[in-house]
Structure 1
Amino acid sequence: MRFSIIPAAGLLITLASAAPLTKRDLSPFPLVNGFPNPSQEAILQIQRDGHGTLPNGPPPPTLSPDGTTNLKLIALNELFEVAFFTELMSNVTNKLPGYDLGDRQGYIIESLKAIVNQEEMHVLNANDALKHFNNAPIEGCKYNFPVVDYEGAIALAATFTDLVLGTLQEVSELFARSQDFGLVHAVASVIGNEGSQEGFFRAEQKKRPSAQPFLTSSSRDFAFTAIQDFVVEGSCPNINTIPLKRFKPLAVETKDVKAETQNIKFSFSMRDAGMFEIDMLKLVWISGQNVPVVKGLQNVEMKDDRVMFEAEFPFEEFVMEGLTIAAVTMGKDSFEGAGEVAEKTVFGPGIIELD
């Protein structure tokens, strides 16, 4: 079966479905402390409030092209996180509707304050390394965050942090393969920091602190795509300098996914697709450190302006708890890892979190 569909751009949030609390007309930057270009005095305060210092060792002697891309993606993501957690801390501090936490207010504010300042240091570290090697620092964007209360914000934070933890696995591997050995230690330390945050987010949702024995791997292209689900289109001054792919959106239509083997419903826009053979498309699941699982598309139909389909979710065979990433691929029937999946992805990522 062949579909001929006129392509067009669209924006679909695939990590969350709630309506935004507010729409940002202006960038959140600069912050009151001058970030992302703070003075030396402001940096000292960021370090105090972040309970540690920026690395003070010498930079590596060289930086590969892949290493440069890694640092640019890290800076882009950390800027997004600074904006998200700054807004969340403000909402909790001001006890906006849905953000009044009663007796827990002080502890949560102190926790978020530490997170904000630690993420600011992650940005400064990545951008300073880029500047050292004569690359322009990545600049912040305008954002829309699809949350209406503290509970929803923490759930979203847990999801994008899971994706970050998966992506930093690939980043570390690429640093090592490109012989950017001097950057591996710093990224490994950030993985530990983000993992600590993830344990906090999970505990806030009354989940066990650790989701999986081996966290789900991801790819830079999936993270690059997912970040832009929260960005006002066209608002990032130099995102075009990051040589990564942005995929067309894949919507997970099954809203109440159970921890069991089942068929999951998906959709993508007919306007986002070109000419393709439906039999050439596959739904690929990425979970834990397992080889990606490839499934055929079932019950494909056109509904309004969407292509609807189902695919088997083999939960029981692979114990797919924690983060699972879905992607629609074309041109290959088996993959060794998330990076190979990203190379053949057409639509994605679709995100499922189970506990």
Structure 2
Amino acid sequence: MADIQKNERIIQLLVELLKRPKKAFTITELLQAIDLPKTQRRNVQRDMVSLMTLPGNLVVCDGHGTRKTYRTGLNVLDKLSLPNFEDVMFQFVFLQNIANIYPGTADLIEELVDKIQSNLPRLEQDKLKDAYKDIHSRVFFVGGYRKIDDEAGEKLHTILLALRNRHELSTLYKTSGGETKKGNRIPVGIAMFQGEIYIACVRRNDPRAVYTIKLNRIISVEPTKVPFVENPETRIVLESMVKDFSLFNKQDNCVEKIHLTFPLGKRDFVEDNPFHSSMRIREGKKFLHVTMHVNVTLQLKQWLLFHTENGVTVIKPEHLRKELLKIGLEIAEKYG
């Protein structure tokens, strides 16, 4: 999780520099630009050092001590020859190949690559084209992936503006039952889960009634002129629902301590496919003891069924054992 947060932060910092190529930022200005607290100052300083190690003066530092400022050096790339150019560009070529699988990030990746490419010398632009042509035929997608929504980036942009400006959204939405509904919604956040993008919203008359809708089911979304004031209680409820994994659960369950066991030799499988950030693994004499504090949701049961072949056993709670038994009996009856 820490690496994910760091990578997201670095991308945000780089985007800010690229958006304003003529401006030199202090660390304080960078913190303000990406809306981070002062407690993140040392992390941002380390991030800028990391960005400065990238080839081609992508990020440069001017001044010393407390007067240091940071800016992009892309405007002088045409005067440079990048060391290990092919290795660096291969990473961007791969990003171009996978960009459209992730709606919302595709525009960012393409904008970043185009900006870098346009500032390269002609010879290295030709090398990049050759690299793309060569790698394009060697990137394979196994299985299926969700249909790309060409308007996803535009929809996300509208939603993010509404979040920032505290205005309601007018949405035309297709429910899981196939029904189309139109109405205003109050957005309070965006969540990523299992490759899907969800918009967290709250009911107008109940600050604790937080729910989610899927981005790919939004047929159209438009900003309105109707402002809203976010209740602090809503933020607390939203963060709690993210933490205990109940954000996508429509039932009013409570957080419970889940106790599982796995064979000792299955630790790698458990660590490669964790369920929740509260998950802890302790090695016993005969088994791995796995505990976590979450809601008992459909997603949890699906995760347990996924790990059936890895020898998972539910110790507590008892009602979860019974629910899995019921699922097992239904499967046995259907296929037995």
TM-score by length of 2: 0.23
The higher-RCO structure (CA 8 Å, 6+ apart) is 1
TM-score by length of 1: 0.23
Higher-Rg structure is 2
Higher helix share: 2
Greater share of strand: 2
